[in-house]
Amino acid sequence: MTDQDITYSTIEHDYMQLKDTFDNHKFAYIEKLTKQYFIEGLCSKDYEKNNIISMVSSSKIQLREVKGLVEEQEELIKSISIEIYELEKKNKEYEIELNELSIKEEEYEKRYLEFNEKLGNVKIMDELCNKVKQKNDEITETMEIIENKNENLKKMDVTKLETDLYDLQIRKEELCEQERNLSRIFYDDSLVEMYEWYLNGLQFLNKLFFCRIEEIKIKENNLTEIYFGIGNLSVVACIEDRKFIGAKAFYLERNQDLFDSLVNECVFINDLRLFMCKLPFIISKEK
């Protein structure tokens, strides 16, 4: 509670106390006059009506004076109340301004902290710039040393180096030629071995399936066509992505239905070997 609040509460308390005191005095005064008139009426038989009227008139005058004092006090209290209201209104305005100032103070403190943080970052950047400058100086010194060494190398006799380089190039060509000769010999031996292996494989297939492999064609999209013959009949089998997808017979006069049925069956189970095994039986029926 502020000093103003204490002052306002004290004035209001004094006003209430003064009002209670006035009411008590008024009640006591009226009671006293009533008792006095009653006693005088009992004690004096010669009590005149005029005296009573004059006493009532004087009491009315005194009552008006008291009322006047009361009205003055009420006006005073009213003016004090207005002043209190105005002061309270100003106090609320001051509180609002104080809150706004507090918010601004917090914002200023926040900006101050941010400024200090940025100032710290600036100091760090200055340190980094100094380090970068130091490294650049070191690099410059190193480049100068390298340039000096290059100048010294240019001044040296390079005849021996050129001779050594020429000898090394000749030696390199000789070794490359030897490597090519060895590779050619190894490749020729590999071709002979591969030819013998495929020749034996074809002979084995001819004995196993009673057919001869005439040609193998590899086309686009992983399509392979194998041409082989059985007696006077030529057949081509098609393989795509390692799957048997179909076959076609040339010069087949009879049993075309059996041939197509065999092809569909072997395509369904994806088995070229079964097709080559059963094909001779169909060919035998052509005779």
Please name every residue paired with 243 in a beta bridge, in sequence order, or none if there are none: 240
Q: What is the pLDDT of residue 4?
A: 53
| Between residues 161 and 34, the one the model is more confident about | 34
Q: What average pLDDT does this structure show over 90-104?
A: 84
Residue 268 is predicted with a pLDDT of 92
Strand-pairing partners, residue 71, are none
233-240 β-sheet, strand order: 212-219, 223-230, 233-240, 243-250
pLDDT value of position 191: 47
Whole-angstrom distance, CA of residue 209 vs CA of residue 281: 11
* Alpha carbon distances (Å) from 225 to 28, 63, 128, 240, 248: 140, 140, 72, 9, 11
- How far is residue 252's CA from residue 233's CA, in Å, rounded to a whole number? 7
Q: What is the pLDDT of residue 241?
A: 83
What is the maximum alpha-carbon separation in the chain?
183
Considering only 33-37, 97-101, 240-244, which range has the smallest mean pLDDT? 33-37
- Show me where the domains of the chain are located: 3-114, 157-209, 212-284
Residue 176 neighbours by CB under 8 Å, 6+ apart: none
* pLDDT > 60? residue 158: no
Tokens of 280: 């001779």
103 vs 98: CA distance, rounded Å: 9
Contacts of 80 (CB under 8 A, 6+ apart): 11, 15
Beta bridge partners of 248: 236
Q: Could you give the percent of the chain with pLDDT greater than 70?
A: 68
**Looking at the predicted structure, is the pLDDT value of residue 93 above 70?**
yes
Tell me which amino acid residue 232 is. N
Is a pLDDT exceeding 50 seen at residue 195? no
pLDDT greater than 70 at residue 29: yes
